[in-house]
Amino acid sequence: MEVESVYSGESVRVDLWAWSVRLFKTRSAASAACKKNQLLINGQRCRAAKLVRIGDEISLRQGLLTRIFTVKGILKRRVGAKEVPAFLTDLTPADEYERVAALEKAARESTPVRESGTGRPTKRDRRELEEMGGVEEPTFEEFVKAFLKRRPLR
């Protein structure tokens, strides 16, 4: 029994389309991305109910990466991962992926790594990690100011 996956109309909601082509795990996550301006249609902000047509350019910001897609087909239901290339074209330049990979690698290398199996850090270990990371202890006056900002006097 074959399920028809191509929508017979000319357009569909952007949150439904983005979920259908597996850009998001849930449809609510796709609509939340629209609210946060992480999903753009033809460079314009959009609501989740905005209609997507064949030929539209979709921009998606996922963390540090900005991906660009062109709509090749309209969907009514979610499709398997192997079928996704029939409905979108990835226009994201390769150097964008390389740039994000380099930034993530630099972030991983800058964080100190403890040996496997050493257990929970001791107080001495924590102090040594803070010294390496350059985290400075606040002065007593800064501590009091920060404390008073959090807890107003009664």
Mean pLDDT estimate for the chain = 84
Q: Whose CA is closest to 30, among 92, 101, 78, 93? A: 78
Rounded to an integer, the average pLDDT of 14-43 is 93
63-83 residue pLDDT tens: 889 999 999 999 889 999 999
Which residues are 58's β-sheet partners? 41, 69
CA distance 90 to 100: 16
71-127 residue pLDDT tens: 999 988 999 999 999 999 999 999 999 999 998 888 878 776 777 888 888 888 888
Q: Which residue segments constitute the domains of the chain, with CATH numbers given?
A: 11-97 (3.10.290.10)
**What's the pLDDT band for 132 if we cut at 50, 70, 90?**
confident
Cα 131 to the chain's mean position, in Å? 32
DSSP 135: P
Residues composing the chain? 154
Q: How many CB atoms lie within 10 A of CB 43?
A: 8
CA distance 7 to 3: 11
| Per-residue pLDDT at 3 | 35
Query: What would the two tokens of residue 27 be?
Result: 């449809």
| Per-residue pLDDT at 4 | 41
**What's the pLDDT band for 140 if we cut at 50, 70, 90?**
confident
